[in-house]
Amino acid sequence: MSSGHYFAGDPSVGSEPRPVDVALPDVAFTLTADRGVFSADHLDGGTKFLLLEAPPLTAADRTVLDLGCGWGPIACVVAARAPHTAVWAVDVNERARHLTARNAASIGAEDQIRVVEPDGVPADVRFDRILSNPPIRIGKPALHELLQRWLPRLMPNGCAHLVVQKHLGSDSLAAWLRRDGYGVERIKSRAGFRILEVRPGER
Ligand SMILES: C[S@@+](CC[C@H](N)C(=O)[O-])C[C@H]1O[C@@H](n2cnc3c(N)ncnc32)[C@H](O)[C@@H]1O
Protein backbone atom coordinates (compact mmCIF):
# COMPACT_ATOMS: atom_id res chain seq x y z
CA MET A 1 0.00 0.00 0.00
CA SER A 2 1.34 3.44 -0.84
CA SER A 3 -0.50 6.50 0.38
CA GLY A 4 -0.19 9.75 2.25
CA HIS A 5 -2.26 8.38 5.12
CA TYR A 6 -0.38 8.13 8.38
CA PHE A 7 -1.53 4.52 8.67
CA ALA A 8 -0.17 3.52 5.26
CA GLY A 9 2.43 0.79 5.25
CA ASP A 10 4.75 2.89 3.12
CA PRO A 11 3.88 6.59 3.14
CA SER A 12 4.28 8.22 -0.25
CA VAL A 13 5.07 11.71 1.05
CA GLY A 14 8.74 12.64 1.14
CA SER A 15 10.66 12.28 4.35
CA GLU A 16 11.46 15.43 6.33
CA PRO A 17 12.53 14.47 9.85
CA ARG A 18 12.04 17.09 12.52
CA PRO A 19 12.55 17.32 16.29
CA VAL A 20 9.56 17.02 18.60
CA ASP A 21 9.58 17.78 22.30
CA VAL A 22 7.99 15.35 24.69
CA ALA A 23 7.65 17.33 27.90
CA LEU A 24 5.87 15.71 30.82
CA PRO A 25 6.31 16.45 34.52
CA ASP A 26 8.52 13.39 35.02
CA VAL A 27 10.05 12.80 31.59
CA ALA A 28 11.38 15.20 29.00
CA PHE A 29 13.24 14.51 25.83
CA THR A 30 13.40 15.57 22.22
CA LEU A 31 12.54 12.83 19.76
CA THR A 32 12.25 12.79 15.97
CA ALA A 33 9.05 12.70 13.93
CA ASP A 34 8.51 12.90 10.20
CA ARG A 35 5.96 13.49 7.48
CA GLY A 36 3.81 10.48 6.67
CA VAL A 37 3.39 9.47 10.31
CA PHE A 38 0.68 10.41 12.80
CA SER A 39 1.13 13.78 14.50
CA ALA A 40 4.20 14.56 12.44
CA ASP A 41 5.36 17.67 14.27
CA HIS A 42 4.12 17.55 17.84
CA LEU A 43 3.07 15.25 20.65
CA ASP A 44 -0.62 14.57 20.00
CA GLY A 45 -2.99 15.96 22.64
CA GLY A 46 -4.71 12.60 23.15
CA THR A 47 -1.39 10.81 23.53
CA LYS A 48 -0.24 13.43 26.05
CA PHE A 49 -3.48 12.99 28.00
CA LEU A 50 -2.95 9.22 28.04
CA LEU A 51 0.66 9.60 29.22
CA LEU A 52 -0.40 12.03 31.94
CA GLU A 53 -3.54 10.31 33.17
CA ALA A 54 -3.33 6.54 32.63
CA PRO A 55 -2.62 4.72 35.90
CA PRO A 56 1.14 4.41 36.50
CA LEU A 57 2.96 1.25 35.53
CA THR A 58 3.71 -1.05 38.44
CA ALA A 59 6.25 -3.78 39.09
CA ALA A 60 3.62 -6.24 37.82
CA ASP A 61 3.66 -4.58 34.40
CA ARG A 62 6.52 -6.50 32.86
CA THR A 63 5.47 -6.71 29.23
CA VAL A 64 3.87 -3.69 27.63
CA LEU A 65 2.47 -3.18 24.14
CA ASP A 66 2.40 0.21 22.44
CA LEU A 67 -0.23 -0.60 19.82
CA GLY A 68 0.19 1.66 16.80
CA CYS A 69 3.40 3.27 18.00
CA GLY A 70 3.76 6.02 15.37
CA TRP A 71 7.09 7.75 16.04
CA GLY A 72 7.14 6.14 19.46
CA PRO A 73 6.19 8.64 22.18
CA ILE A 74 4.30 6.06 24.25
CA ALA A 75 6.98 3.38 23.98
CA CYS A 76 9.75 5.85 24.84
CA VAL A 77 7.94 7.32 27.85
CA VAL A 78 7.08 3.83 29.15
CA ALA A 79 10.72 2.77 28.78
CA ALA A 80 11.96 5.86 30.58
CA ARG A 81 9.46 5.52 33.41
CA ALA A 82 9.67 1.78 33.88
CA PRO A 83 13.09 0.34 33.02
CA HIS A 84 11.95 -3.10 34.24
CA THR A 85 9.48 -3.44 31.37
CA ALA A 86 9.90 -5.10 28.01
CA VAL A 87 8.15 -2.85 25.52
CA TRP A 88 6.79 -4.02 22.19
CA ALA A 89 6.14 -1.18 19.75
CA VAL A 90 4.00 -2.24 16.80
CA ASP A 91 2.97 -0.33 13.72
CA VAL A 92 2.06 -1.09 10.12
CA ASN A 93 3.78 2.09 8.94
CA GLU A 94 7.42 1.37 8.10
CA ARG A 95 8.54 4.96 8.54
CA ALA A 96 6.91 5.02 11.95
CA ARG A 97 8.80 1.87 12.95
CA HIS A 98 12.12 3.38 11.82
CA LEU A 99 11.42 6.52 13.81
CA THR A 100 10.48 4.59 16.93
CA ALA A 101 13.67 2.52 16.69
CA ARG A 102 15.71 5.69 16.20
CA ASN A 103 13.98 7.39 19.11
CA ALA A 104 14.45 4.35 21.34
CA ALA A 105 18.18 4.45 20.59
CA SER A 106 18.31 8.19 21.26
CA ILE A 107 17.13 7.63 24.84
CA GLY A 108 19.30 4.53 25.35
CA ALA A 109 16.32 2.15 25.27
CA GLU A 110 17.14 0.20 22.11
CA ASP A 111 17.41 -3.05 24.09
CA GLN A 112 14.19 -2.41 25.97
CA ILE A 113 11.91 -1.42 23.09
CA ARG A 114 11.35 -3.99 20.38
CA VAL A 115 9.94 -2.31 17.29
CA VAL A 116 8.18 -4.64 14.90
CA GLU A 117 5.45 -4.92 12.32
CA PRO A 118 2.33 -6.65 13.66
CA ASP A 119 3.40 -10.12 12.54
CA GLY A 120 6.74 -9.64 14.30
CA VAL A 121 5.42 -10.28 17.81
CA PRO A 122 5.91 -13.97 18.64
CA ALA A 123 2.61 -15.81 19.15
CA ASP A 124 3.35 -16.71 22.77
CA VAL A 125 3.97 -13.13 23.98
CA ARG A 126 1.29 -11.85 26.37
CA PHE A 127 0.91 -8.32 27.70
CA ASP A 128 0.39 -7.00 31.19
CA ARG A 129 -0.51 -3.63 29.78
CA ILE A 130 -1.51 -2.27 26.41
CA LEU A 131 -1.29 1.47 25.91
CA SER A 132 -2.65 2.91 22.72
CA ASN A 133 -3.93 5.92 20.91
CA PRO A 134 -5.62 3.64 18.40
CA PRO A 135 -6.02 4.44 14.70
CA ILE A 136 -9.71 5.35 14.76
CA ARG A 137 -9.51 6.73 11.24
CA ILE A 138 -8.93 3.30 9.70
CA GLY A 139 -12.69 2.80 10.17
CA LYS A 140 -14.79 0.70 12.48
CA PRO A 141 -14.37 -2.74 10.87
CA ALA A 142 -10.58 -2.41 10.70
CA LEU A 143 -10.39 -0.97 14.22
CA HIS A 144 -12.48 -3.79 15.63
CA GLU A 145 -10.31 -6.31 13.81
CA LEU A 146 -7.21 -4.66 15.26
CA LEU A 147 -8.56 -4.80 18.81
CA GLN A 148 -9.82 -8.35 18.34
CA ARG A 149 -6.30 -9.27 17.35
CA TRP A 150 -4.49 -7.70 20.31
CA LEU A 151 -6.82 -7.54 23.32
CA PRO A 152 -7.02 -11.35 23.62
CA ARG A 153 -3.26 -11.24 24.20
CA LEU A 154 -3.69 -9.49 27.54
CA MET A 155 -2.69 -11.51 30.59
CA PRO A 156 -5.73 -12.48 32.70
CA ASN A 157 -4.89 -9.66 35.14
CA GLY A 158 -3.74 -7.30 32.44
CA CYS A 159 -5.50 -4.25 31.08
CA ALA A 160 -5.46 -1.87 28.16
CA HIS A 161 -5.70 1.89 28.31
CA LEU A 162 -6.98 3.41 25.12
CA VAL A 163 -7.37 7.13 24.51
CA VAL A 164 -10.17 8.02 22.13
CA GLN A 165 -11.84 11.31 21.28
CA LYS A 166 -15.49 11.50 22.18
CA HIS A 167 -16.41 12.83 18.74
CA LEU A 168 -14.53 9.95 17.12
CA GLY A 169 -16.71 7.42 18.87
CA SER A 170 -15.29 6.58 22.31
CA ASP A 171 -18.75 5.73 23.65
CA SER A 172 -19.69 3.41 20.80
CA LEU A 173 -16.27 1.76 21.01
CA ALA A 174 -16.79 1.14 24.73
CA ALA A 175 -20.23 -0.34 24.02
CA TRP A 176 -18.84 -2.60 21.31
CA LEU A 177 -16.04 -3.84 23.60
CA ARG A 178 -18.58 -4.62 26.34
CA ARG A 179 -20.72 -6.56 23.87
CA ASP A 180 -17.58 -8.47 22.93
CA GLY A 181 -17.18 -9.54 26.56
CA TYR A 182 -14.61 -7.06 27.91
CA GLY A 183 -14.88 -5.11 31.12
CA VAL A 184 -14.70 -1.44 30.11
CA GLU A 185 -14.54 1.59 32.32
CA ARG A 186 -14.17 5.21 31.28
CA ILE A 187 -11.53 6.22 33.82
CA LYS A 188 -10.70 9.76 32.65
CA SER A 189 -12.41 12.36 30.59
CA ARG A 190 -11.16 15.80 29.65
CA ALA A 191 -11.48 18.24 26.76
CA GLY A 192 -13.16 15.73 24.49
CA PHE A 193 -10.73 12.90 25.26
CA ARG A 194 -11.67 9.71 27.05
CA ILE A 195 -9.41 7.04 28.50
CA LEU A 196 -11.01 3.62 28.39
CA GLU A 197 -9.71 0.90 30.68
CA VAL A 198 -10.33 -2.47 29.09
CA ARG A 199 -10.02 -5.77 30.98
CA PRO A 200 -10.49 -9.34 29.84
CA GLY A 201 -13.92 -10.45 30.98
CA GLU A 202 -15.75 -13.73 31.15
CA ARG A 203 -15.49 -14.65 27.49
C1 LIG B 1 -3.43 7.58 16.26
S2 LIG B 1 -1.86 6.97 15.72
C3 LIG B 1 -0.94 6.95 17.25
C4 LIG B 1 0.56 6.99 17.02
C5 LIG B 1 1.41 7.14 18.28
N6 LIG B 1 1.14 6.05 19.23
C7 LIG B 1 1.14 8.46 18.95
O8 LIG B 1 0.49 8.45 19.99
O9 LIG B 1 1.60 9.50 18.43
C10 LIG B 1 -2.23 5.25 15.42
C11 LIG B 1 -1.11 4.44 14.78
O12 LIG B 1 -1.63 3.12 14.51
C13 LIG B 1 -1.00 2.64 13.34
N14 LIG B 1 -1.78 1.55 12.77
C15 LIG B 1 -2.82 1.60 11.88
N16 LIG B 1 -3.27 0.38 11.60
C17 LIG B 1 -2.52 -0.48 12.35
C18 LIG B 1 -2.51 -1.89 12.50
N19 LIG B 1 -3.36 -2.67 11.83
N20 LIG B 1 -1.61 -2.46 13.33
C21 LIG B 1 -0.72 -1.67 14.00
N22 LIG B 1 -0.68 -0.31 13.90
C23 LIG B 1 -1.58 0.27 13.09
C24 LIG B 1 -0.90 3.88 12.45
O25 LIG B 1 0.08 3.70 11.44
C26 LIG B 1 -0.56 4.95 13.48
O27 LIG B 1 0.82 5.12 13.60
Burial class of residue 97 (count of CB atoms within 10 Å of its CB; 0-12, 13-18, 19+): buried
Q: CB within 6 Å of ligand 1 — which residues? A: 6-7, 38-39, 44, 47, 68-70, 73-74, 90-93, 96, 118, 133, 135, 138, 146
For 85-120, the DSSP string reads -EEEEE-S-HHHHHHHHHHHHHTT-TTTEEEE-GGG
pLDDT of residue 8: 75
Contact 130, 154 (CB under 8 A): yes
Neighbouring residues of 187: CB distance < 8 A, sequence distance ≥ 6: 53, 55, 161, 195, 196, 197
What is the atom index within ligand 1 of the atom nearest the CA of 135? 10
Taking residue 13's Cβ as centre, other Cβ atoms within 10 Å add up to 16
pLDDT score for 77: 98
Per-residue pLDDT of the chain (203 residues; tens, 9 = 90+): 445 677 777 788 999 999 999 999 999 999 999 999 999 999 999 999 999 999 999 999 999 999 999 999 999 999 999 999 999 999 999 999 999 999 999 999 999 999 999 999 999 999 999 999 999 999 999 999 999 999 999 999 999 999 999 888 889 999 999 999 999 999 999 999 999 999 998 55
Question: For residue 167, what pLDDT is reported?
Answer: 86
List the residue whose alpha carbon is closest to atom 24 of ligand 1: 7
Determine the pLDDT at residue 2. Answer: 42
Confidence (pLDDT) at 103? 98
Q: Please report the atom of ligand 1 found closest to the CA of residue 96.
A: 27
CATH topology of domain 2-199: Rossmann fold (3.40.50)
Closest protein CA for atom 11 of ligand 1: 68
For the chain, what are the domain ranges? 2-199
Q: Residue 181 — left, alpha, or beta (φ > 0 → left; ψ -120 to 50 → alpha)? A: left
